[in-house]
Amino acid sequence: MRHLLRNAPVLRQAVANGAAPDLLSLFELMKTESKNRYRLFKKRTKKGVYFVQDNQTGKQTSLRTKDKNEAARLLNAMNEAHRQPHLNLQIARSYLLVADPTLLTRTWQEVMEAVVDEKPAGPNKDRWAQAIRNADYKPIRQLKVVETRAEDFKKVLKSQKPSTNVYLRGIHNYALGMDWLLKPGISRKGWPPVVHREKRGITLEEHQKIITREKNPERRDFYELLWHLGGSQTDVASLCAEDVDWRERTVGYNRRKLLHQPRSRIKPAIIHFGEAVAEILSRLPQRGPLFPYLLTVRAGDRATEFRQRCSGLGIHGVSLHSYRYAWAERARGCGFPLRFAQEVLGHNSKAVHHAYASKAEVKVPSLDVWEKQMEQKIVDMKSASAAVSSRSPASQDGDESAAPQAVA
């Protein structure tokens, strides 16, 4: 009896379709239906789309079709795939071989090379070319894409390197977008979180130690400008005398990182400089590159030399890029407007800028003192407004016209 009640929808569908009313035929139909993993039904909605329900888990999935015959074919294919998975895998491979002859032989090494080939020429392409040579990708390098399982990706992620995680996601998503990977190897929530190494800015004391120890005048001025301008090491090393406007006392330059990104909408910021920067610029060449030697040095070599100098001074956990973090932290600590700070550092995202300035020490003023200052400002503004109105020509004319009447 319970079996009949459990299969009541099947009985109703059989009667509606004109099946044999005898109990034997009904039991045979129920027996066939119980072997199927999925069953078909249609929700009574305006769209009238067909759904399938998993008889084991109860999960319902839309077939995204209103055609009954098409829905029936999809249902039969799903049930057949469940009953004979190995045979259907071979059938699927045959279909895929006709659709894309290289689909069954394509390896992840070919996918990596395709990703690099599509990148425009520039630093980003160079980083990708270096990233795919990482030894962490050895478990999947010669593995066929269609035969990849989640366990294969887990082998690559064992090193727990943030760069490996980030680049593997990009490679995985590229293959998925090109339909070379039939389904996600790892679900979006299944990817391990990217845990970056803790970064911080250079403190004023550390910067002063570096400047005092540095004997090379060009490097010393280079580190000084990094501290005051907050630019990347490549941008500051590429500055020319023509980028400095002495009449307006401004410095303007294009970020090298964005030159190869045509979609970037960030325009170069025009940065006003004070006396400290003016003194540094006056010592540098007044024509051509400001740092002729450092401009010819590779970015990696500049970073290595700086790290060696810091190690000799007992300063650890910083790099040349830490000057940008230091500038962001200083700007936040003194209440510098966020929109101006983003323009200086070239950050289009507030989230990225907050990450740079997250370790800033912000001293919040007392609320009662702040209220008194605001009240005093309002009083001063009213006094200034009254003084201006008393000196206006209209008020003077009014006083002159009123004086004779008083005398009369």
The answer to whether residues 233 and 163 belong to one domain is no
The answer to whether residues 261 and 214 belong to one domain is yes
| The pLDDT of residue 294 | 92
Range of the domain at 272: 204-356
| The pLDDT of residue 343 | 82
Q: Which residues contact 33 (CB under 8 A, 6 or more apart)?
A: 7, 10, 39
**Any domain includes 194:** no
Domain of residue 334, CATH code:
1.10.443.10
**Any domain includes 1:** yes
Query: Following CA atoms 150, 151, 157, 160 in sequence, which dihedral angle do they give, to the nearest 10 degrees?
Result: 110
| The pLDDT of residue 94 | 58
Give 3-state DSSP helix, strand, coil % of the chain, rounded to 5: 60, 5, 35
Domain count, the chain: 4
For residue 322, which amino acid is it?
A: S
The answer to whether residues 235 and 350 belong to one domain is yes
Alpha-carbon distances, residue 270 vs 243, 245, 330 (angstroms): 10, 10, 19
CB distance 89 to 101 below 8 Å: no
Would you give per-residue pLDDT tens digits along the chain (408 residues)?
444 444 455 545 555 555 444 544 544 544 554 567 888 888 776 678 888 888 888 888 888 888 888 888 888 888 877 766 555 655 655 555 555 667 778 899 999 999 999 988 877 888 899 999 999 999 999 999 888 888 999 999 998 889 999 999 999 999 988 888 878 888 888 888 888 778 888 999 999 999 999 999 999 999 999 999 988 888 899 999 999 999 999 998 877 766 655 555 556 778 898 999 999 999 999 999 999 999 999 888 999 999 999 999 999 989 999 999 999 999 888 888 888 888 888 777 777 777 788 777 778 878 888 888 888 888 888 888 888 777 765 555 554 444 444 433
Instruction: For strands 60-62 and 50-54, give the pairing.
Output: antiparallel
| The pLDDT of residue 117 | 93
| The pLDDT of residue 91 | 60
**Any domain includes 382:** no
Query: Following CA atoms 89, 94, 97, 103 in sequence, which dihedral angle do they give, to the nearest 10 degrees?
Result: 10
| The pLDDT of residue 66 | 85
| The pLDDT of residue 125 | 87
